[in-house]
A and B are shown apart, each in its own frame.
Chain A
Amino acid sequence: MGMHLPAFTKFSRTNPLVPGADLELPARQLWAISAGASLWLVDLEPYEECRVVGVVKRLRVDPHHGHIEVTIDDGTGQVAARWTIRRNAPQLALAPGTAVLLEGLAVAGDDGRLTLSEPGFETITYLSSE
């Protein structure tokens, strides 16, 4: 089980994606990259295979439509991930506040938002900046 994150703190660091650029970056964004994300959520495009990292903000269980959905946030943006409910529903371990790595294809959902459909997932540990 991933650990809960500390508050959203900001500190000044060099942007790891743009060598030499000195930007004020939220700790969570730096952590997302260090934890293995291929991009930040703000840069996510439809029909793109991606590996993203974030903190679960919401877990939605919808038995009527037969799916479980989580919304994650990496400090730059949010994305939803959706799975069909199967036996044991392992996605229920993704409690709000849990850090998670998702890997899959981003598609535009019914409401126009980008959604990762049936992505692989893994709970991870927050790498503290301290």
Chain B
Amino acid sequence: MSRTQLLKRVLLGRTMASGELEHTLLPKVLALPVFSSDPLSSNAYATQEIMLVLGLVGTAALSYVIPIALAVALLLAIVVVSYRQTVRAYPSGGGAYIVAHENLGANSGLLAAAALLIDYVLTVSVSITAGVDAIVSAAPTLAAVKVPIAIGFVAFVTLMNLRGTKESGTLFAIPTYGFVLSIYALLATGLVKCVGGCPLAESAGAHLEPEQGITLFLILKAFSAGTTALTGVEAISNGVPAFRYPQSKNAATTLSMMGAMSISMFLGISWLANHTEVVYTEESARTVVAQIAQTVFGGGFMFYVLQTMTAGILILAANTAYQDFPRLISILAQDRFMPRQFMNRGDRLVFSNGVVILALLASLLIVVFDANLNSLIQLYLVGVFISFTLSQSGMVVHWRRAPEPGSGRRMFINGFGAAVTGIVFFVVVTTKFLSGAWIVVAAIPLLIQLMWSIHHHYDKVAKQLAHPDHKPPDRRAGDHSMVILVQEADAAAARAVGYVRAVRPRQASIVTFDNDSAAAMRRMAPEMSLTVLEEDGQRAAGIKAYLAERGKSLPPEHFLSLVIPETLEGRGLWEIVRRPGIHRLKASFLRERGVQIMDLPISRHDVDPGRYETEEPARNYVVVLVSGVHNATLQALEYAETLTPTDLRAVSFGLDPAATEKLGDDWLRSSIPVPLELHESPYRDMGRSLVTYVEQFRADGRNRVVTIVIPEFVVGRLRHQFLHGQTALLVKRHLLFESGVVVASVPYHLGTQPPD
């Protein structure tokens, strides 16, 4: 195990096989903290947000807190009842994106997705900043390092999530249940103490100067501030596949449990705040919950327990976003609205790329907003209510399209929910627009535009790959010219000569920059033509010009391969980092039209330094890596056929059952005569699977070689590079150190491939 692998293992745990996915499913008792820490934790500040707005009208207006809290609680109940139906109707995970996409169309789906993605990023930034604020209130000297502390917590939560769902569930259960139990203890003690008259808070009796009169707008603003209690309710509906079986039933039960807890805590805190006559302003040293706790517990042990649990749940509330953001972005990637790399599960079966990108975006927001909670919170909630409204509207259409007993009642519940959340959305946007919500309102269409442009790119690529005009011409054995790029006349160059002789191309030649090497190569391969290029500092340009010249003299159906022999000093990542020049050179040739690159590495330890072996290997096993039947695959197969193989086969690793069946079916339909092998890749690491696979050929480089042919997409624009997996690169890195393995990259130029 290398040092990097060891570090990864210590931080993340052992790599898990794909088959272990079922064992990461969550029982209800763990699913509740994983998916509900966000809505439950907002009780720590929801009442306070309402009071902050009402305080503008003076102390007397604080009596409105109970009716407003009742309205928010009612809204929460409506949304919970409505989402229970979604969870049951969409057992495979019915996030707002899926429900809106299926029932209202692609644009509505993307609107919901964009709103949710932005909100998940905000959930992380807001909850972690709120948690850090709680810590800074206790230790004011830390105020100067708020941003680094917040980034540190983001890193911690990220790491926990990269370890996997179940592990993080166990960890997050403690502060979540701790918080809920402490709040219930607070409410119970408070109610007992209120028999015969509530004790008064330390701030009771403080006078707030009215800054304005009570208006409907202000009441609505206070209401929209209180709706922060609803954030994260949709998390359970997105996360149904993470629940244990029966998934829908368990998810619906968990949703109800969360709703009941949230409503009772929120109403209880609001009632106690009102009856202990708490007064809260931005200058208040203690939060509303802390003031109530001080009054009820008298500042004893339970006060500190509650404060600790509150800080804990606030920081871990970010976890809800960590569950849903990666899942949503992977669904978008499946639908080709996001780069396909987001579909991959990492070592611990988590959608790691999504987790990492969420952490980066949330950290960026924290830095840009200087970890200021008041600024960040203004951006919040817009996305939540867009997704609520679209999801429930989608459900109305769902029930209308597929009527079943009781669907009329269900349609009414979802329709009512949609109408209510729709109204609340306008209230939120109107009351928060100028204070920051405009940023989200502007960002959502930009994100939708980005998703469509990604989708169009993938569509265009798929069309080109399947289009008969772009199909490569038929080749026969021998339709191949090979050029060996010799940097030094060494054992690797000698092996390359032997390999090229075994392939028997139509033309074989050698190109070098060094006169001494040229003389040695002439003796080694007298039958090959040899060219010494001028060394003017621009080696790559010189070789490209030479290849272009060679290409012109060849018939269009001919392949032209540049064979690059190299001698490796050691193994591992260091060997790759040590020589960046050669990798840049190979990458730049890949972009040259009509040129295939063959990498022929040997290890210095495997060769006799005094003896250059130029004999032909007796066996050349050629393996073509395939992921689908399309023009790039066909071109790679034809290339492989010109390599005079002893045995030629196509292989694929780690496809899911549906993709396996499709590939097999397409293979038979296309009448490709080459055998296709499909193998497991239990750890989703194609490089490692391929290295194990190659071992069966017992290649030594002298008598037996294995040539791995990799079809590679070359995109016209650099930014499109991010939309295509870097599988080829990873595979090449693994195979570089395998003795007797030659790697051939067959580029397929996307976007501008001229019809042959």
Contact = CB atoms under 8 A, between A and B. Distances in A.
Interface of A: 1, 3-7, 56-65, 68, 85, 89, 92-93, 95-98, 128, 130
Contacts of A1: 657
Interface in B371-404: none
B664 interface: yes
B20 interface: yes
A64 B667 CA distance: 11
Contacts of B678: 58-61, 95-96
Size band of the B side of the interface? Answer: 20 to 34
A11 to B, nearest CB: 14
A61 B676 contact: yes
Q: Can you list the 10 inter-chain pairs with the closest CB atoms, starting with the nearest?
A: A95-B660, A92-B664, A95-B657, A96-B680, A62-B675, A4-B19, A7-B17, A59-B678, A61-B676, A5-B19
A129 B688 CA distance: 28
A6 B668 contact: no
Contacts of A6: 17, 19-20, 22-23
Contact of A98 (B17, B657, B673): B657
Interface in B641-667: 655-657, 660-661, 664-665, 667
A93 B663 CA distance: 11
Interface of B: 16-23, 655-657, 660-661, 664-665, 667-668, 671-680, 682
Contacts of B19: 4-7, 97
A85 B675 CA distance: 13
8 contacts: A4-B18, A6-B19, A6-B22, A6-B23, A7-B682, A61-B675, A89-B668, A97-B680
Contacts, number: 82
A48 to B, nearest CB: 27
A92 B660 contact: yes
B20 A7 contact: yes
A96 B660 contact: yes
Contacts of A130: 23
Nearest to A1: B657
Contacts of B661: 92-93, 95
Given A7-B17, A58-B679, A96-B678, 15 more contacts: A4-B19, A5-B19, A6-B22, A6-B23, A7-B19, A58-B677, A60-B675, A60-B678, A61-B667, A63-B671, A65-B675, A89-B665, A92-B665, A96-B679, A130-B23
Among A1, A60, A98, residue most surrounded by chain B Cβ atoms (within 10 Å): A60
A59 B651 CA distance: 10
A3 B655 CA distance: 14
Contact of B680 (A57, A61, A92, A93): A57
Contacts of B679: 57-58, 96
A59 B673 contact: no
Contacts of B16: 7
Nearest to A85: B668
B682 to A, nearest CB: 7
Contacts of A63: 667-668, 671-675
Contacts of A56: 680
Contacts of A97: 18-19, 657, 680, 682
A56 B667 CA distance: 19
Given A59-B677, A62-B675, A89 B664 contact: yes
Contacts of B23: 6, 130
B660 A3 contact: no
Contacts of A64: 673-675
Contacts of A58: 677-680
Contacts of A85: 668
A89 B663 CA distance: 12
A57 B682 CA distance: 10
B18 A61 contact: no
A73 B682 CA distance: 14
B520 to A, nearest CB: 43
Contacts of B680: 56-58, 96-97
A68 B676 CA distance: 10
Contacts of B674: 63-64
Contacts of B667: 61, 63
A20 to B, nearest CB: 31
Given A96-B660, A97-B18, A60 B668 contact: no
A9 to B, nearest CB: 10
Contacts of B22: 3-4, 6, 128
Contacts of A5: 19
A115 to B, nearest CB: 16
Contacts of B682: 7, 97
B672 to A, nearest CB: 6
A63 B666 CA distance: 12
B441 to A, nearest CB: 44
A101 to B, nearest CB: 17
Nearest to B675: A62
A65 B668 CA distance: 12
A6 B680 CA distance: 13
Contacts of B21: 4
Contacts of B672: 63
Given A6-B19, A85-B668, A60 B660 contact: no
